[in-house]
Every structure is written in C-alpha cells, then in structure tokens.
Structure 1
C-alpha cells in the first residue's frame, strides 16, 4: 500500500489571501458599491469642475484644482469608513459573520483581508480621480520623491483611521437598514465642514474648529499640500500645511478607531441571544 501524504495545513497568509479574493469578488458583484465607490466621486468631480472649475480661489489655483484633493480625501473616508461600516453591518444581519467566525479562519486574517480590499479599491478609485484631475483640470502630480512620500503617509494613515473607525461603526449600527440613515449624515457633515465641497477658509470659524477634531479635515489638508502649488500654503487657515499636526491627529484617530473596534465588534446580530 502507498502511504498517503496529508495535505499541509493552510497558513495564516494563505487564508488571508483566499479571504481577500472572496472580498474582491463580492465587491465586484455589488453594483451599488461599484457605483458608490467609482461612479459617484467621478460624477461629483466632473459636475463641480464644470460648474465652478474656472473660479480662482487664490493665486492661480482654480476651484477644480482645489476640489480634487478634497475628493481624494473624501474617497478614502467613504471607502474605509462609510462603505466598510455598511458592508460589515449587512454581513452581520445576513449571519455571514457568524458563519465566518465558526470556521478556522483567524479573526486577524479576516480583518486583514477586509483592509486589503479597502486599500485595493481605494487605490483604483484615487487613480481614476487623479487621472481626471490631471487631464481635465490641469492638476499637478506630487512633486518628486518628497511629494509622493507625503502622499503615501497621508494615504496610509487616513486609510488606517477610516477602516478602524468603519469597523467600530459597524457594531454601533443596530441593523444594516440603519446604516445609510446613520452613517451618510455623518459623512456629509464632515464633507461640508472639512474643505471638500466648500473652501475651508470660507467656512465659519466655529465649524473649522469642529472639523479640526475629525480626520477628514486633516486628510484633505494633507492632500492639498501634495496636489496644490507651494504658494497656496499661505492661503490655508493656519498659513501652513501643518504636516506634523496632520500625522499626529490621524495617528490618534487610528488608535481611537482600533480601541473602539476591539471593544465593540460583534460577530452576531444585536437581537441574537
């Protein structure tokens, strides 16, 4: 008789990779998510660029050029916070999370796959927005290695803060139906007060102070420092890009989101005993 060789046990990496493939397939099959993540920001950029694009904000910076960094920052928040919170809430309502929890898949591998899916989708989304901004509105790409480095750390810290807060928010939603009603107003308020839809310095000062508490304002400001000319720095509310403050605030929100996610996440529905 020929001895049979047992198949090697799957590694953490292989399980995370397999789950990542599942997450990507589910995203591609969801037309609503595809439209929200890709088509909606593109339409907003084209709409605002067409209506207000030629208006000069400061120096030679037009509104279309100013709007692009805000949409990039908003795209990071939308994918990592809004879309992730709602998709996890749906998975919980449909008992998908309960079934995943009952499998040998480690929780860390599951969340690693979720975060990898968010990063992959966000990269594609930002590439599309940047291409539109450069081709149609003469937006400038990051200047040299330093510019790309700033873009990278702002992107990574912003994505980390958005995803951890999205995971935490998913457990605060009583059910998936409440997701849109709860999460969408939060995102809209932050967009209107953080320099995404409106020029930040034209927002009332008390709303500027309100926005400065949350990560989107710093994300948008960090992206402006990358995509707008250096001369625009003086037009910022503080007269500076505030890179150290941006890194500190985003890092603090990563910690807050991580603590909340660990303490509040649940695999089962709220009405389960």
Structure 2
C-alpha cells in the first residue's frame, strides 16, 4: 500500500511536469483534436463508402483520431519522457532513493491513464459540439470502447517504456520515436479511409496494434452496416483483443529485459 500511495504522489508530480512541457502537450494531447477539426473542415460533407448509412466528416475521422490519441499519450509520451529522464540522470537518481521502483512505473501509468481520458473527453466533446457528431447511446458500444481504450493505453505504455531503451541520447529520441509513429498513423486508417489503402499495406499495418485500436474505435463510433468495409467484413472484436493483448505481453517482456536506470556505458 505504501508503494501505491507513493505511486499516486508520483502521478501528481508527473502530471505537473507533463503540462509544463508545452511541446509534449501539443503533440500528444491537442494534436488529435486539431487534426479532427482540420480534416472535418477540409473534407466537409457526408460519407457513405457504399454503406446504407451516411456519416459526416467529423464522425468519419473520429475513430482514427481517438486511436491516434491513445498512441500519442501512451507510446510516444513514454518513449520520449523515459529516454530523456535516463539521459539526464533522473532515473539514476530516483533509483538511489528509497522510493520503490514499482512506484515510478505506477506514476507513469497514472500519467498516461489520466491524460488519455482527458484528451479523449475533449476530443468527443469537440466533435459533438463543433460538428454535431452522433455519439453512441448503446451501453454495449461504450463497453467495447472501455476495453479497447484500456488495452490500447496499457499496450502503448509498456511498449513506449521498452522502446525508450533504443535511444542513445535525449537528442536522438525525437526522430527515433516520432518518425515511426507518423508512419503507423498513415497506414493504420487514422488519416485515410481504411478501405482505400492497398491490400499489401493493410497486411503490414495488421501486424501492429494501432490498426486494431483504430478498428475497435470504428466499431464504437461507426454505424453497424459499416463493418462490411473491414478486411474480414466484421469488427473482429476477438482478434482485436488478441492482437493488442499479445503486444501488451511482448511489451512487458521487453520492459523486463531491456529497461535500464542509467545510460549505456554508465553504472
């Protein structure tokens, strides 16, 4: 319980430090909201994509932006912040304090969970108030959102912590993290309609969790007759949970094997 209490205190401290970094807040917090507004204005009008039910542009792009928000507030935030803290010696100093190591990770998890929820709440409020997006009224859809969101956040967090070990310094971590993150967003149905992507690119995207997070979000916010445009002609909730869960396990294993409290070449 002491470790949990310290972890909560660490969460509050992490939140204070996070909101002091304006660049991090913009790219991982406000970026999906701004992109949703931009795409909704540029591609104004309704979409049907061959389905019976039409949706407006904001509803069309909302699931992708929600998935991108999960990735940015979990994977990207963790990869950047942990790499910087390792490089400037913060992790090494924390390891030398009486604070239980688990409290540090609880603080990171708390940071990601709270910022992800806040970012999503603002995203759907913006979509509803600015563009009149119809939000789900079925409890089953919100239950689907809950498990996709929680699995996505957990997966992104552990993968981000593990990925931070690849950075040799805080100067190189930005390009190392942001470049693949952008690529995955473009091939995973975030900025383009999933059905418009080439089949071989869909197969590549299907290896990574972002595609499945986006598909899970589409099953929440799209009309049910839009599932025919997915690769399997259904929302594939079972496979979505399996793939994201598998990446979560992979991330945990990689964290256990690769996490370091100090820079390479130091003790």
Taking structure 1 as the reference length, the TM-score comes to 0.93
- d(CA) in 2 for partners of 1:212 and 1:36? 24
Which residue is 1:130 aligned to? 124
2:248 corresponds to which residue? Answer: 254
- Offset of residue 235 of structure 1: 2.2
**How many positions carry a matched residue from both structures?**
264
Measure the CA separation in 1 of the matches of 2:100 and 2:15.
19
Alignment-derived partner of residue 8 in structure 2? 17
Contact (CA 8 Å) 1:80, 1:159: kept in 2 or not?
yes
Give 2:161's aligned residue.
167
Is 1:72 matched with 2:63?
no
Question: RMSD value over aligned CA atoms?
Answer: 1.4
**1:76-225 correspondence runs (5 A):** 76-225=70-219
Distance in structure 2 (CA, Å) of the matches to 1:233 and 1:53: 22
Q: Does 1:267 align with 2:261?
A: yes
Superposed, 1:44-63 pairs within 5 Å as 44-58=35-49, 59-63=53-57
Unaligned runs of 5+ in 2: none
- Residue 57 of structure 1 and its aligned partner are, at CA, apart by 4.0
- Preserved CA contact (<8 Å) 1:233 1:241: yes
User: 1:89, 1:238 → 2: CA distance?
Assistant: 38
- C-alpha contact 1:154 1:223 (8 A) present in aligned 2: yes
Cα deviation code 1:4-45 (max 9, x no counterpart): xxxxxx811221111111111111211122222233222211
Moved >4 Å (runs of 4+) = none
Structure 1 residue 149, shift from structure 2 partner = 0.7
What are the ranges of 5 or more consecutive residues in structure 1 without an aligned counterpart? 1-9
| Cα distance per residue 1:68-122 (max 9 Å; x no partner) | 1100001100111011100111111110000111111111111011011101001
Inter-partner Cα distance in structure 2 for 1:261 and 1:62: 41
Question: What is the distance in 1 between the residues matched to 2:124 and 2:26?
Answer: 18
Query: Does the Cα contact within 8 Å between 2:33 and 2:65 map onto a contact in 1?
Result: no
Q: How far is the alpha carbon of 1:134 from its aligned partner?
A: 1.6
Structure showing greater Rg: 1
**1:55 Cα shift?**
4.7
* CA distance in structure 2 between the aligned counterparts of 1:166 and 1:154, rounded to whole angstroms: 18
